[in-house]
A and B are shown apart, each in its own frame.
Chain A
Amino acid sequence: MTEFRRLSDSDPEIQAHGKYFSCSFLWDMEEKKFLVRMHRGRIEELIVDPGPLEDYDFAVRAGADTWREFGRQTPAPMFHGIWAASFQRDMRLEGNLLVLMQNLRCVTRQIELLRATGPLV
Chain B
Amino acid sequence: MTTPTGISPVTGHYVTIEVEGSQYRVFYLENGTGQPLVCQHTAGCHNHQWMGLLEDSEITDNYRVIAYDLARHGKSDPPLNSEWWKEEYLLTADHYVAFITAFCDALGLEEPIFMGSSFGGNVALQLALRHPDRFKAVIPVEAADHSPGFFLDWWQHPQANAAQVCASGVWDLMAPQSPESDRRRTWFYYTQGSEAFRGDLYFYSVDHDLRGRCGEIDTSRCPVVMLTGEYDYLTTPDDGRRTAEQIPGAEFIEMSEIGHFPMSENYPRFAGYLKQALDLIARRTGAEEAAAPRPRTPSAPVGGR
Chain A residues, CB < 8 A from B236: 78, 88
Q: How far is the CB of A114 from chain B (nearest CB, A)?
A: 12
Contact of A98 among B157, B231, B233 (CB under 8 A): B157
B231 near A101 (CB under 8 angstroms)? no
State in angstroms the CA–CA spacing of A105 and B160 once bound together: 11
Contact of B233 among A88, A101, A108, A115 (CB under 8 A): A88
Residues of B contacting A: mostly:
loop
State in angstroms the CA–CA spacing of A78 and B238 once bound together: 12
B172 near A81 (CB under 8 angstroms)? yes
Whether a CB of chain B sits under 8 angstroms from the CB of A2 is no
Residues of A contacting B: mostly:
helix
Whether a CB of chain B sits under 8 angstroms from the CB of A56 is no
User: 1/0 contact trace for B129-154 toward A, CB 8 Å?
Assistant: 00000000000000000000100001
Chain B 151-173 interface residues, beta-carbon cutoff 8 Å to A: 154, 157, 159-161, 164-165, 167-169, 171-173
Q: How far is the CB of B164 from chain A (nearest CB, A)?
A: 5
Chain A residues, CB < 8 A from B149: 87
Minimal Cβ-Cβ distance residue in A for B164: A105
Whether a CB of chain B sits under 8 angstroms from the CB of A116 is no
Chain B residues, CB < 8 A from A50: none
State in angstroms the CA–CA spacing of A82 and B173 once bound together: 10
Q: How far is the CB of B133 from chain A (nearest CB, A)?
A: 37
B172 near A101 (CB under 8 angstroms)? no
Task: Tell whether A108 pairs with B171 under 8 Å between CB atoms, given A75-B176, A77-B231, A87-B233.
Answer: yes
Minimal Cβ-Cβ distance residue in A for B237: A77
Chain A 72-87 interface residues, beta-carbon cutoff 8 Å to B: 74-75, 77-78, 80-84, 87
A78 near B154 (CB under 8 angstroms)? no
Task: Tell whether A104 pairs with B172 under 8 Å between CB atoms, given A87-B149, A88-B236, A98-B157.
Answer: no
Q: How far is the CB of B151 from chain A (nearest CB, A)?
A: 14
Residue in B168, B169, B230 whose Cβ sees the most chain A Cβ within 10 Å: B168
How many B residues touch A, CB cutoff 8 Å?
22
Contact of A81 among B165, B171, B230 (CB under 8 A): B171
Residue in B149, B159, B176, B236 whose Cβ sees the most chain A Cβ within 10 Å: B176
Task: Tell whether A104 pairs with B231 under 8 Å between CB atoms, given A87-B149, A88-B236.
Answer: no
State in angstroms the CA–CA spacing of A32 and B159 once bound together: 32
Q: How far is the CB of A76 from chain B (nearest CB, A)?
A: 9
A83 near B164 (CB under 8 angstroms)? no
State in angstroms the CA–CA spacing of A118 and B5 once bound together: 45
State in angstroms the CA–CA spacing of A53 and B64 once bound together: 64
Residue in B164, B230, B234, B236 whose Cβ sees the most chain A Cβ within 10 Å: B164
Whether a CB of chain B sits under 8 angstroms from the CB of A10 is no
Whether a CB of chain A sits under 8 angstroms from the CB of B175 is yes
B159 near A98 (CB under 8 angstroms)? yes
B172 near A102 (CB under 8 angstroms)? no
Task: Tell whether A82 pairs with B231 under 8 Å between CB atoms, given A74-B177, A104-B164.
Answer: no
Chain B residues, CB < 8 A from A80: 172, 175-176, 231
State in angstroms the CA–CA spacing of A101 and B160 once bound together: 6
Minimal Cβ-Cβ distance residue in A for B256: A77
A87 near B169 (CB under 8 angstroms)? no
Chain B residues, CB < 8 A from A102: 159-161
Task: Tell whether A104 pairs with B157 under 8 Å between CB atoms, given A78-B233, A80-B175.
Answer: no
8 chain-A/chain-B pairs, Cβ below 8 angstroms = A77-B233, A80-B176, A81-B172, A87-B234, A88-B233, A98-B154, A101-B165, A105-B164
Known: A77-B175, A80-B175, A108-B171. 13 other contacts (CB 8 A): A74-B176, A78-B236, A81-B172, A81-B233, A83-B169, A83-B233, A84-B173, A84-B231, A84-B233, A87-B149, A88-B236, A101-B160, A104-B165
10 cross-chain pairs, A with B, having the tightest CB-CB distances, nearest first? A81-B172, A84-B233, A101-B160, A104-B168, A105-B164, A108-B168, A105-B168, A77-B231, A87-B233, A77-B230
